[in-house]
Amino acid sequence: MKRAIELAKKGWGRTNPNPLVGAVIVKDGKIISEGFHEVVGGSHAEVCAINNADTSVAGSTMYVNLEPCSHYGRTPPCVKAIIEAGIKKVVVAMIDPNPKVSGKGVNILKEAGVEVEVGVMEKEAKALNEIFINYVVNKKPFVIMKTAMTLDGKIATFTGSSKWITGTEARRYVHIIRDRVSAIMVGSNTVIKDNPFLTTRLENKEGKDPVRIIVDGKGIVPEDSNVFNSSSKAPAILATTLSIDKDKEKRLTEKGVKIIKTEGEHVDLKLLMDELYKINIDSILLEGGGTLNSYAISSKIVDKVMFFIAPKIVGGKNAVTPVEGCGIDKMEDALEIKNVSVKEFGNDILIEGYLEK
Domains for the chain: give ranges and CATH numbers: 1-130 (3.40.140.10), 140-355 (3.40.430.10)
Can you say which residues are annotated as belonging to the binding site for NADP(+)? 148, 164, 190, 194
d(CA 226, CA 223): 9
- Mean pLDDT (whole number) for 273-288: 96
Angle at 212 between CA 350 and CA 75, to 5 degrees: 95
Across all residues in the chain, what is the average pLDDT? 94
Residue 312: per-residue pLDDT: 96
CA 282 to chain centre: 7
Tell me what pLDDT residue 46 has. 96
User: What crossing angle do the helices spanning 45-52 and 78-85 adopt, rounded to 10°?
Assistant: 30
pLDDT-above-70 percentage for the chain: 99
Amino acid symbol at 232: S
pLDDT for position 246? 94
pLDDT of residue 72: 66
> What is the predicted pLDDT for the residue at 328?
87
The total number of residues written for the chain in this structure = 357
pLDDT digits (tens, 9 = 90+) for 314-325: 999 999 999 998
Q: Which residues are annotated as a binding site?
A: 44, 69, 78, 148, 162, 164, 178, 190, 194, 198, 201, 287
Give 134-177 pLDDT, tens digit per residue. 999 999 999 999 999 999 999 999 998 888 999 999 999 999 99
Amino acid at 195: N
Task: Report CA-CA distances (Å) from 19 to 52, 142, 283.
Answer: 20, 13, 12
**pLDDT tens digit sequence for 296-348:** 999 999 999 999 999 999 999 999 999 998 888 999 999 999 999 999 999 99
Average pLDDT for 213-228: 94
The pLDDT of residue 77 is above 90: no
Contact of 350 with 147, CB cutoff 8 Å: no
Active-site residue list? 46
Specify binding-site residues for substrate.
162, 178, 198, 201, 287
Bind-site residues for Zn(2+) = 44, 69, 78
**What pLDDT digit, counting tens, does each position of 29-69 carry?**
999 999 999 998 899 999 999 999 999 999 999 999 999 98
* Rounded average pLDDT over 216-239: 93
Residue 280 has a pLDDT of 95
Averaged pLDDT, 200-219: 91
For the entire predicted model, the pTM comes to 0.92
Amino acid identity at 52: N
